[in-house]
Structure formats: structure tokens, C-alpha cells
Chains A and B, each alone.
Chain A
């Protein structure tokens, strides 16, 4: 199983992920950088597929490729002077961050090379069983983190609304009825 053949899918997916990640940080146009995240995220989905984590393949494509990438591109479109290629890509923090990155990478490398890797002989479960077990864990053992995820999403939602709507007063309190809503606001 150690031949290059059996590792070929892994190598392709890793190359896709790392290669496009490199382009993301190297390309001058930040919107193009955003678009280059697409093959990067798809490569990660491919790695999940190789690990037989079928649910995460779908979630990766649905959430990261389908939603978060769109969100990032929208955020970039809101940015002033986004297309100026003469903007410097570094700022005064680049040296400390560079040092931090090197130390961090060295630390991760030290941990990974020092770890005793064992081959798992666990049986790969079918996709539906995997997803059901994930659901059981979410409902049972990890019920609290599951609910806190909802609070986190709520916080993100409220935060974005506050940022985007901060210049305006909230609507007067009596809740408008559904029928009255469309023309309740003066244009």
C-alpha cells in the first residue's frame, strides 16, 4: 500500500490545496485571491473524501465553497480601492508576524514528526451510519456545544446587522402586521 500509486489521489488533492493556497497569498489582485480559494476549498473537500468522511465532503462544498467564499467575495467588494495593484501587500506588522509564522510552523513540524503514528484498523462505516453517529453525538454527548454553536451564529448575525445598520434608528416598537409591512416605510 505504500506505492506511489495508492498515494496518488492524496498527492493530487494536497497539491491542489497547497498550490492554490500559495496563489491566494501571492496574487496581487485580492479579488482574484478570493477566487483562488475555490480550488483550495475543493482540495480540502477531496482530502475529506479520501478520509471517507462523506458528510464533511458535502458540508465543505456546501458551506465553504457555497457560502463562506461568497461571503468573502462580498466582503472584498465592499472594500475601498480593492483593485489597486500598487497597494503594498505588507504593513508594519509583517516582520513580527513572519517570525511568529516560522516559530509556529517549526513547532507544528516538531510535534508532527515526534508523534507516534499508528495505522487504524477501524472499519470504515457507510456514509449513512457515519452521519447518524454524528447526529447522535450532537444530540447526546455534545448537546451544549451544539446549542452554543447556535448562539455563535446568532452573535455573528446580530453583529453584522449592527455594523451594517448602525447609522439608522431601529424601527418604532409596535410590531407591524404582515400586511402592513410593505408600505409601512416611507420611501
Chain B
């Protein structure tokens, strides 16, 4: 439990920093709203349509690729802590693991799933 005390303190101070800063700004800044200021900021141009529209399924593919390789990275970590005890066997095992996912990546590449249309 002791090891999480600095982490909790860091989190608490981080959150406090945001709220204190915003609160201080609230007291200091002048308040002069007008319709143009309160419009959604869209890099200059007037925003068009609703932000809640249906997104391209392509985003999902990238997110899923990310999840798959994120999980792979999570498996790599305990493996890296222990592979010295097993030598070549552990290396071959991880190569099989990564190669299987590599097949998926090659498939995604071949199907042009990584290209943006």
C-alpha cells in the first residue's frame, strides 16, 4: 500500500492544480460574453452540422489494431522479466506469438485496411 501513496498524492495535486487554476482565472478575468465568442471553435470557419454524426468504420479498424498490439505489449513485459531462465525456448515462444500477430498485420496491409480512403 505504501508504494501508492506518492501516486495518490501526485493525482490529487494534479487535479487540484487544474481546479485551482481555473477557479483563480474565474475571479481575475473580465466577463464579456457575446454570441460570436460562445460559438463552437472550429479553427476559424463557422461550424457546420452536428458533432454527433456517424463515423467512418475505418476508425474502428485502427482502434482494434491498436488494442491488439497493446495487448501484445502487455504480454511482452512479464516475458521480458523471465525469459533469461528459459533461454532459447522462451525466445522461440515469443517469436511464434509475435509472428501470429504479424500475420494479422500483413493481412491488414494486404487488404489495404491501413489505407485511408
Residues A153 and B72 in contact, CB atoms below 8 Å apart: yes
Q: Mark B78-99, 1 if CB is under 8 A from A, else 0.
A: 1111110110011001001110
**Taking the complex as formed, is B28 at the interface, i.e. its CB lies under 8 A from any CB of chain A?**
no
A97 vs B63: C-alpha distance when bound (angstroms): 30
Chain B residues near A150 (CB-CB < 8 A): 72, 96-98, 100-101
Chain B residues near A163 (CB-CB < 8 A): 57
A157-B79 in contact given A63-B71, A78-B54 (Cβ < 8 Å): no
A140 vs B66: C-alpha distance when bound (angstroms): 27
Q: Is chain A's binding surface mostly helix, strand, loop or mixed?
A: helix
**Taking the complex as formed, is A149 at the interface, i.e. its CB lies under 8 A from any CB of chain B?**
yes
Chain B residues near A77 (CB-CB < 8 A): 54-55, 59
Chain A residues near B27 (CB-CB < 8 A): none
With beta carbons under 8 angstroms apart, the residue of A70, A80, A164 that contacts B61 is A164
Chain B residues near A66 (CB-CB < 8 A): 70
A128 vs B81: C-alpha distance when bound (angstroms): 8
Residues A153 and B104 in contact, CB atoms below 8 Å apart: yes
Minimum Cβ distance to chain B for residue A6 (Å): 10
Which residue on B lies nearest to A157, using beta carbons? B104
A55-B100 in contact given A67-B66, A136-B82, A157-B107 (Cβ < 8 Å): no
Interface size on B, residues (CB 8 A): 52
- Interface residues in A46-69 (C-beta closer than 8 Å to B): 49-50, 52, 54-55, 59, 62-63, 66-68
With beta carbons under 8 angstroms apart, the residue of B4, B60, B96 that contacts A71 is B60
With beta carbons under 8 angstroms apart, the residue of A71, A139, A156 that contacts B83 is A139
A163 vs B63: C-alpha distance when bound (angstroms): 14
**Taking the complex as formed, is A165 at the interface, i.e. its CB lies under 8 A from any CB of chain B?**
yes
Residues A185 and B112 in contact, CB atoms below 8 Å apart: yes
Residues A50 and B1 in contact, CB atoms below 8 Å apart: yes
- Interface residues in A124-159 (C-beta closer than 8 Å to B): 127-128, 131-136, 138-140, 143, 146-147, 149-151, 153-154, 156-158
A85 vs B55: C-alpha distance when bound (angstroms): 19
A136 vs B78: C-alpha distance when bound (angstroms): 8
With beta carbons under 8 angstroms apart, the residue of A132, A161, A175 that contacts B113 is A161
**Taking the complex as formed, is A171 at the interface, i.e. its CB lies under 8 A from any CB of chain B?**
yes
Which residue on A lies nearest to B52, using beta carbons? A83
- Interface residues in B38-62 (C-beta closer than 8 Å to A): 50, 52, 54-61
Identify 5 new A-B residue pairs, CB closer than 8 A, beyond the known A63-B70, A153-B101, A157-B104. Answer: A67-B63, A68-B67, A74-B59, A134-B78, A147-B100
Chain A to chain B contacts (Cβ below 8 Å), 16 pairs? A77-B54, A78-B60, A80-B54, A134-B81, A135-B79, A147-B100, A150-B96, A153-B104, A154-B101, A154-B103, A157-B65, A157-B104, A157-B107, A161-B108, A165-B111, A185-B115
